[in-house]
Amino acid sequence: MTKSQDGVTVVDHPLVQHKLTLMREKDRSTKSFRQLLNEIGMLLCYEVTRDLPMEMTEIETPLTKSMQPIIAGKKMVFAPILRAGVGFLDGMLELVPAARVAHIGLYRDPNTLQAVEYYFKAPSDIAERMVVVMDPMLATANSAVAAIDRLKERGAKDLRFVCLLAAPEGIERFRGAHPDVRIWTAAIDEKLNEHGYIVPGLGDAGDRMFGTR
């Protein structure tokens, strides 16, 4: 179940929406929050890979030889934006264990709300792979835009962005900077507040993941 418009896909599957509501609750434990994020990451991975190319291959079942579909050799990279983006990673790797992993270390300056890079490491053949960039929140979009900028500088061409929540302001900024990169999200919330947080949102995903709130 998805709704797509202008390069943005909202994954409104009942399981995704139920788990997201549980995550929004302010008294949700760190352990539960982390587990739910992992589970939603797996469910979102189904959607972001829905259009992977397929090809037929011959196999032998216990009964007979048969032509059956497999993914057509598409190489993938999962690129979480540190720190909260790693919450999606395990669930996605469960589904695509052969995927390579890039790490993009960015933090948001509390005064300017701009993204500051402190770490970047990606596979050398990233230009030949589909890259799924992940961060739970698309708020101001400064971190997401900076991450995509950096990946494109390294030669990445086939890029997709996955998040848990998005603000309209973040979507506008992201699509303005990178109209070629599609977005998958579980929900589009109302707005950003004066501190750059998504409302109603779920607070700071990184703090809630690591119990530092």
Cα–Cα distance between 179 and 209 in angstroms, integer? 30
Q: What angle do CA 147, 148, 150 make, to 5 degrees?
A: 65
| Residue 136 annotated as part of some ligand binding site | yes
| Residue 142 annotated as part of some ligand binding site | yes
| Residue 51 annotated as part of some ligand binding site | no
Cα–Cα distance between 165 and 167 in angstroms, integer? 7
| Residue 138 annotated as part of some ligand binding site | yes
Token representation of residue 50: 């829905």
Cis-peptide, bond into residue 83, ω within 30° of zero = yes
User: Which amino acids are annotated catalytic?
Assistant: 108, 112, 204, 207
| Residue 28 annotated as part of some ligand binding site | no
| Residue 143 annotated as part of some ligand binding site | yes
| Residue 179 annotated as part of some ligand binding site | no
| Residue 166 annotated as part of some ligand binding site | no
| Residue 135 annotated as part of some ligand binding site | yes
Token representation of residue 169: 């302001």
| Residue 186 annotated as part of some ligand binding site | no
Which residue, among 87, 172, 106, has the nearest Cα to 138 in the 3D structure?
A: 172
Cis-peptide, bond into residue 69, ω within 30° of zero = no
SS3 of residue 142 by DSSP: helix
State residue 41 phi and psi, 5-degree precision. Answer: -55, -40
Annotated binding site for uracil: 198, 203-205
Annotated binding site for 5-phospho-alpha-D-ribose 1-diphosphate: 83, 108, 135-143, 204
